[in-house]
Amino acid sequence: MARAWEADPSALFERRLGKSAKELGSSDGRDECPDIWRLDNGDIAVIGRDLTDNYRSHLPEGVAVGSDERLVIIPGAMLSAAKVDIPDA
């Protein structure tokens, strides 16, 4: 069965949404860099900590994480900072 949406692995990073982890004090500048990016096809890429296994048994009713998906966590301040870059629906 075909999925209603599929990620396009050929899409490229277009622009950061919000501020960098360094600007928000959420990174030591080495390899701890949560981030939110708009891709050139309009999709969004989120870099965060993979806590799929921690949350899988606690997901709300109707929420699922597919075998090829990961639940990632980013700092709340990072999403708040990105609000100005996210258009209304």
- pLDDT at residue 22 in the model: 87
- Name which of 43, 44, 42, 47 is nearest 75 in CA terms: 47
Give the range among 39-43, 47-51, 84-88 with minimum mean pLDDT: 84-88
Whether residue 81 has pLDDT greater than 80: yes
- Name which of 5, 76, 73 is nearest 41 in CA terms: 5
First-to-final CA distance of the chain: 28
Is 48 exposed, middle or buried (CB count within 10 Å of its CB: 0-12, 13-18, 19+)? middle
Whether residue 2 has pLDDT greater than 90: no
**DSSP label at 74?**
-
Interatomic CA distance for residues 26 and 29, integer angstroms: 9
